[in-house]
Amino acid sequence: MKALIVSDNHGDDKVLEAVQEKFANQVDVLIHCGDSELQNNSETMAGFKTVKGNNDWGLDYPVQLQLIVDGVKFLVVHGDHDKVNYSLTPLMLKAESLDEQVVCYGHTHQLAVSMESGILFINPGSISLPRGEYSRIGGTLAIIEVTEQQFIIDYYNRNCVPIPELHFEFNRS
């Protein structure tokens, strides 16, 4: 199973169209972690499972999504309601209570991936307005491949080119 995760494009519809064109037929699900600033009935957003970000004023997206894709349980949030700027603890407690396997979040505009208490936490970073250590890349998205034994994560730049130093593998417990 493969999932593409993107977040925080802040109205940049062209980059999402390019991402869909490149990857839609290579993954099982397209996930958007909020702050698209695009209408949920727009053609650009039609292929994405999307949550509402703090800049998605007046848009009709849910605040959180629970998805099951090929038996893998995903929790998708933007992160602003879960205090991800300060700690992953509130989000981890929520994920544990819901028995989730993968948690996708955005909001910080900084890519991050970690395994906590047997749960994969992944922030794809902002595809349009990156911050932090990897802002020099100019925007990122992530693709997760889930096998029986592992979570395999690869980050790509906004031109859909893989970033070799941002390849991660975690054993599933």
What confidence tens digit (pLDDT) does each residue in 7-55 have?
999 999 999 999 999 999 999 999 999 999 999 899 999 999 999 999 9
Residue 17 has a pLDDT of: 97
Query: Which CATH number fits the domain that encloses residue 96?
Result: 3.60.21.10
Residue 15 has a pLDDT of: 97
* Helix (H/G/I), strand (E/B), else coil: 136: helix
Residue 173 has a pLDDT of: 74
User: CA-to-CA distance for 69 and 141, rounded, in angstroms?
Assistant: 19
The residue range of the domain holding 69 is 2-171
DSSP 8-state symbol, 81: G
**Rg of the chain over all Cα atoms, to the nearest angstrom:** 14
User: CA-to-CA distance for 8 and 34, rounded, in angstroms?
Assistant: 6
Could you tell me the sign of the dihedral formed by the alpha carbons of 10, 11, 13, 14, in that order? negative
Residue ranges in the chain whose pLDDT is less than 50: none
Number of domains in the chain: 1
